[in-house]
Amino acid sequence: MLPSPPPKVRCRQILEGDLDAVAELLCEGFPDRSRKYWTSGLARMGGRPGPAEAPRYGYVLEADGVLVGVLLLLFTGLAGDRPRFNVSSWYVRPAFRGFASLMATLAVRRKDAVYLNTSPIAHSLPLLHAMGFRPLNRGQFLAAPLLSRTPRGARARAVGPQDAPHPGLDPAEFELARAHAALGCLSLVCEAHGRATPFVFVRRDIRYSPLGVVQLVWKGEGADYAACAGALGRALAARGALLAISDANGPVPGLVGGYFPGKSPKFFKGPAEPRVNDLAFTEAVIFGP
């Protein structure tokens, strides 16, 4: 008997008609996530504008017409920004793992773009390094912002999806804060010393924590999180969150809490280094915690 010919494998962009099969493949690769988690996130990805030449969802590996691998590519920038993408949810069926690097290399091939990997799996780190990814943060800081000193007169208020523009904020930054509020995030504006600065948090479900927890996923250009922490802490506490996680490379002066080295490292590749805690429109926002 003649041996069966090897399957024809190709890598291509995800199409609208692939989304059901992509969700099934992601459920297979990440069994702790529900199908609704993936379908809701993919729907949000489909509603996000992106560069015309960029994939809307990412890439799949196809073997003889059957999807056997997936890598999502979330556009995380705004119109007019340098192209920025979050490489996410990378899974290939075991029999086709030899093609995994092909898909990843295709996904991050643009020289003008910045790529983030915000949740790398330990066994993927050697490949990330080989592809040119560099560390962005080396740990996280868990703070109780309510315990931080608050500048006199400082206050923080929430931004809603339908709010009118804030006169003291850059329009693009305000629009980003408002867009994240529409996605279920806590968008806050801290007003202190005559200056308004925006911050965005996403709720986190931390097992065994009796206190509400959020994670800082974006702050305005030049914003000082520690200086605003007290005012932000009051606003967060009013919404049931007493603890806040932020990416860091060491202890953060002015924050009451502790630094955890090696916790949730993130990596980037490209011509410009992103700001630490700039996780706008990444998987933590689009798919949720």
CATH code for position 55:
3.40.630.30
Residue 78 lies in a domain: yes
Lookup: tokens for 132: 């040119």
Q: Name the DSSP class of 56.
A: S
pLDDT for 4: 62
Q: Are residues 201 and 92 in the same domain?
A: no
Residue 13 lies in a domain: yes
pLDDT for 138: 92
Instruction: Using 70 as the pLDDT threshold, list the residues of the chain that sit under it.
Output: 1-5, 79-80, 208-209
pLDDT for 6: 72
Burial class (CB in 10 A: 0-12, 13-18, 19+), 24: middle
Q: Are residues 103 and 160 in the same domain?
A: no
pTM of the model: 0.91
Domain harbouring 145, CATH code: 3.40.630
- Say how many domains are in the chain: 2
Lookup: tokens for 248: 């860091």
Residue 200 has φ and ψ, to the nearest 5°, of -130, 130
Q: Are residues 252 and 145 in the same domain?
A: yes
Query: Of 89, 91, 7, nearest to 45 (Cα)?
Result: 89
Q: Are residues 16 and 85 in the same domain?
A: yes
List Cβ neighbours of 34 (8 Å cut-off, separation of 6 or more).
27
Query: DSSP strand E in the chain: where?
Result: 9-13, 58-63, 66-75, 84-92, 114-117, 134-143, 155-159, 186-192, 195-204, 213-219, 243-248, 257-269
Q: Are residues 164 and 246 in the same domain?
A: yes
Q: Are residues 89 and 158 in the same domain?
A: no
Residue 284 lies in a domain: no
Residue 130 has φ and ψ, to the nearest 5°, of -65, -30
The answer to whether 119 and 230 have CB atoms below 8 angstroms apart is no
Q: Are residues 146 and 256 in the same domain?
A: yes
**Can you tell me whether residue 164 is helix, strand or coil?**
coil
Residue 21 lies in a domain: yes
Q: Are residues 30 and 98 in the same domain?
A: yes
Residue 126 lies in a domain: no
Structural domain range at position 75: 9-112
Residue 2 lies in a domain: no
pLDDT for 14: 96
Q: Are residues 106 and 154 in the same domain?
A: no
The answer to whether 175 and 211 have CB atoms below 8 angstroms apart is no
The contacts found for 104-107 with CB under 8 angstroms, 24 or more apart, are: 104/71, 104/131, 105/131, 106/11, 106/59, 107/58, 107/59, 107/71, 107/73
**Beta bridge mates, 42:** none
pLDDT for 3: 59
Q: Name the DSSP class of 112.
A: S
pLDDT for 144: 96
Q: Are residues 191 and 257 in the same domain?
A: yes
Q: Are residues 260 and 150 in the same domain?
A: yes
Query: Of 135, 136, 68, 73, nearest to 104 (Cα)?
Result: 73
Residue 241 lies in a domain: yes
Residue 134 lies in a domain: no
Q: Are residues 196 and 242 in the same domain?
A: yes
